[in-house]
Amino acid sequence: MRTDLFDFELPPESVALRPASPRDSAKMLVVQGGDLHDRVVSELPDWLKAGDQLVVNDTKVIAAQLSGRRIGRATEPKIDATLIKRLDGSRWQALVRPAKKLAVGDGLRFGNEGRVCLLGNLDAVVESKGEESEVTLSFSFHGPVLDQAIAELGSPPLPPYIASKREPDDRDTDDYQTMFAVQEGAVAAPTAGLHFTPRLEAVLRARGVGLQRLTLHVGAGTFLPVKADDTSGHRMHSEWGSISEETARTLNEARASGGRIVAVGTTSLRLLESAAREDGAIAPFEGETAIFITPGYRFRAVDALMTNFHLPRSTLFMLVSAFAGLDTMKRAYAHAIASGYRFYSYGDASLLFREDS
């Protein structure tokens, strides 16, 4: 499909720079059967029924943003790196700026003035260079020692549309983490989960709505717009995910009894659809997924989706357009902009019911 079909104008003031407080006070636009309803997240239980199953992503964001410099040559330009995928105990794929300053074999030293890693400086070597700004970094530390060094020297990898407008600070350490976060490995938050509070979870459970967990370590590719003129020319970054046997069994039993599967976030939806069989049954899953969902895709596992408002021309806006209909989502986004909804990671939510449901 043509990428420009998924373009729209978004005023800069629509981008949220801080989350709502409390988290479940954010607005929520409900899209059902082509109708639009203005609500708030705390009203989510009113749109669900006993036996429905919410599926959340329990990935935890690591301090994946590193700042440092090139070493070993006559000049030492500043280098910023965002870790996007662990390859093994000492190697990570990363997006670096400016990539043109680096060659294979170059050494990097990460650290910030006034923030000294107890283990010393964190050094890495550029092992290989890929497309655009992607490189493979081989670090001098390994395993838990490397994890500790990254945690001490890194900072939350805020999306570029926030980081370009303000500096990350200590508030982001908590704000950019969901209440479900336990499995370390993401470099971007599963942002629909940011709207949940213990109080909201308690109300959902009291209504008989189940809450199940899976893990998808979100990569920085989630921020990237599609640059190809046609969606067929876009390459998705793969991400590691896991669905346990118990979670798969619970979801299949719930659906067989008439319950609906409600994905909290596009990350949960993409993993559920990756694990779904042709008949809609969800299988246990562990491995990589690079599923790219565009209009025309036949959804097998998910009946409703709670998600934030996404970038123009992004794979995520394509996904929600496939789920609820392109014309419907363009109308919904136009309504959201006109009504003052807040967009992107720290923004408001939408609750989408599948177009064919």
pTM of the prediction? 0.90
Instruction: Give the tens place of pLDDT for each residue, 292-308.
Output: 999 999 999 999 999 99
Average pLDDT over residues 140-144: 93
Tell me the pLDDT band of 79, cut-offs 50, 70 and 90: very high
Average pLDDT over residues 73-101: 92
Q: Per-domain residue ranges for the chain? A: 3-61+173-353, 65-154
Instruction: Give the tens place of pLDDT for each residue, 262-271.
Output: 999 999 999 9
pLDDT, position 16? 96
Residue 240, pLDDT above cutoff 60: yes
Selected from 1.10.10.10, 2.40.10.240, 2.60.40.10, 3.40.50.300, the CATH number assigned to the domain covering 65-154 reads 2.40.10.240
Nearest Cα to Cα of residue 346 among 211, 170, 177: 177
Instruction: Give the tens place of pLDDT for each residue, 145-181.
Output: 999 999 889 887 888 788 888 888 889 989 999 999 9
CATH architecture of 3-61+173-353: 3-Layer(aba) Sandwich (3.40)
- In this structure, how many other beta carbons lie within 10 angstroms of the beta carbon of residue 181? 19
Tell me the pLDDT band of 116, cut-offs 50, 70 and 90: very low
